[in-house]
Structure 1
Amino acid sequence: MGTTGQRPPRVPPRWFVRSFWAGHRSLYRATGGRIGLSRPKPGKYGLLRLRTIGRRSGMERAVILAYFEDGADLVLLAMNGWGDPPPAWWLNLLANPDTTVDLVDGARAVHAREAQGAERERLWAAWRGYSKNPDDLDALAGLRSRETPVVVLEPAATVTG
């Protein structure tokens, strides 16, 4: 948790989080993808566009998410704006883990999985490096009733032959 005597980080109201991300997606669409995505840099996460297939609707869904690179893998947090329920995109990935992401340099086929054990701890610690106050990540996660999944998007296996 945060430093003793400090308040836990404040979570913006749900309407604000949803409005912000809807605006971000609209900006991405309005500019034909020229604005809205970024590469990660030291101490600054990047932004990607994740495309999933709705687990109930079967329709394509898209969301813009923060990520960092771990070798060839892309790493996300399934946090739903720090709201308690799992984000729909994560539930969609659990049902259909093979999908596509859009990055600054183009689309990439990926396979999603949840990091476990020592790998999860290592990647969670790496995420702390992208926060202005590293203790905030743990404090925000502590507001949820469940552990925040660390999602790894591995390059999809290529078919040869």
Structure 2
Amino acid sequence: MFTSDFSAGELQPELKQVFYHWRNAAEDGEFPRLTQFELPNARPAPNVLSVFEIERTQTGAAADFKALYVRNKIINTLGNKYVGTRLSEHPGFGPGSMIWSCFHEVASTSRPLLAALPYVGPLPEYRSSSEIYLPLRGEGVSVDYVLVGVVLLEQEYSHKAH
């Protein structure tokens, strides 16, 4: 399903562009800040990107993930409005779901994640997705956001996964 142990060579071309941009934006070993991506005009691959804010409990544990930015291409493949909503508000996306596990892993470990998930949207031609989850800082030093790149695939996608 997902792994933090991946190489850029395993990524779909659009996700590879996003990963290199994210990696090159890192400063002094720190993750890039959300503001470095200049959304909605992000380069590269803006049509595959979304950004979620990590909502944390008082102890710092991830409690939910709020969609701040979702490109139209992604919205059209899901069939629902996501901006301004939390993952837990959408059936099949809350705690215990595969997508929740991916977000939770990034929020807990602050490590990039490559995921292969089954596609569950309204478009019958797609069977799976290849997704990259990248931690982003806010104004401080902690990871406050997750940048997600999603590429839909007509075939099953697999890679080394946990």
Relative to the length of structure 1, the TM-score reads: 0.29
| Structure of higher CA gyration radius | 1
